[in-house]
Amino acid sequence: MKPTRLHAAWAPWVFTAPFLLLFLLFTAWPLLQSLVLAFQQTFGPRSTRFVGFDNFAFLLRDPLFWQAVRNTVIYTAGAIFVQLPVALGLALLLNRPQLRGRALFRLIFFSPSLVGLVFVGLMFHLMFQKHTGLINAGLHTLFSSWDPEFAWLDAYIMPSLIIASVWLYAGFNMIYFLAALQNVNRELMEAAEIDGAGPWARFRHVVLPEIRPVAGFVVLLSVIGSFQLFELPWVLLNNSGGPGNNGLTIVMYLFQTGFLTGDLGYASAIGWVLGLILVGAAWAQARAARKEISG
């Protein structure tokens, strides 16, 4: 083989070697180790015992795990059925050409996603406080019958989390919808308007089919992000799952089990189950997208 051909054959490996090295070191190797750990019972990092599928069998009858799954599913439902419609509504509003100051409003609605989750958790922890919290004080000012001692973080943890996440993420998801709306075929919109279609009919029969691929992608991102929820409830609920563990999520339970209790094997089993759930969600979204494209 001539030297030039030899160099051409090795060039791709030379250029991809840094990525492959980092991927093997920081992704593949930890994944393999966590898979091994999932079949072990650990008492700290140095004491381990092989237990086979016992961690997964215990997980199936662990009430705390299922409570974490229930809380995470409720939060995910809130993200899909509350947060995304709000984001779509903002995008529809800011896509109107006659609206003045659209760029400023886009920046205002997007800006919450620029601050950190810890900051948002601390801020809403203060805002949801009884009597002195901004939300209770504001609602009591607007509606005199509102109880200023309303216990947001004691009795209504999931609604509180959903409200905080709407403030944080609605503007971020609005950007996706806004980009999709700006690519809607104008000729179809004008044809529908000439045919006498009203705003709702144009949205349902023209806009919605055009933005459906992006909407499906945003739903998938919201599902994945919701199932990985950790920092926001962890800070909002003072490093706990809240009263009765009503704010405990899957990742919070994984963290408590692995790093507070010290059972890294059981935490790895939880992590692998969570990973399979997310792979299943991605597979379902990809299959739905292929089905839509094929007609």
What are the pLDDT digits (tens) for 156-212? 999 999 999 999 999 999 999 999 999 998 898 889 888 888 889 999 999 999 999
What mean pLDDT comes out for the span 139-146?
Answer: 89
**Is residue 242 a contact partner of residue 234, using CB atoms and an 8 Å limit?**
no
Q: Tell me, what's the pLDDT at 116?
A: 82
pLDDT of 3 higher than 70 = no
**Residue 109 pLDDT exceeds 60:** yes
Does 294 have pLDDT greater than 90?
Answer: no
Is the whole model's pTM more than 0.95, yes or no? no
pLDDT band at 44 (very low <50, low <70, confident <90, very high): low
pLDDT band at 2 (very low <50, low <70, confident <90, very high): low
pLDDT of residue 149: 87
Q: Where are the alpha helices (DSSP H) in the chain?
A: 3-23, 29-37, 54-60, 63-78, 84-94, 102-110, 117-127, 134-142, 152-155, 157-181, 186-194, 199-202, 208-227, 231-236, 250-255, 264-294
Structure confidence at residue 30 (pLDDT)? 93
Q: In one letter, which amino acid is 37?
A: L
So what's the pLDDT on residue 168? Answer: 93
> In this predicted structure, which of 38-42, 250-254, 265-269, 270-274 has the lowest mean pLDDT?
38-42
pLDDT score, position 295: 63
Predicted local distance difference test score (pLDDT) of residue 5:
66
pLDDT of 110 higher than 80: yes
pLDDT of residue 132: 83
1 has pLDDT over 60: no
pLDDT value for 57: 95
Q: If residue 245 lies in a helix (H) or strand (E), which one and from where to where?
A: none
In this prediction, residue 147 carries a pLDDT of 87
At 287, list the tokens.
């299959």
The reported pLDDT for the residue numbered 288 is 84
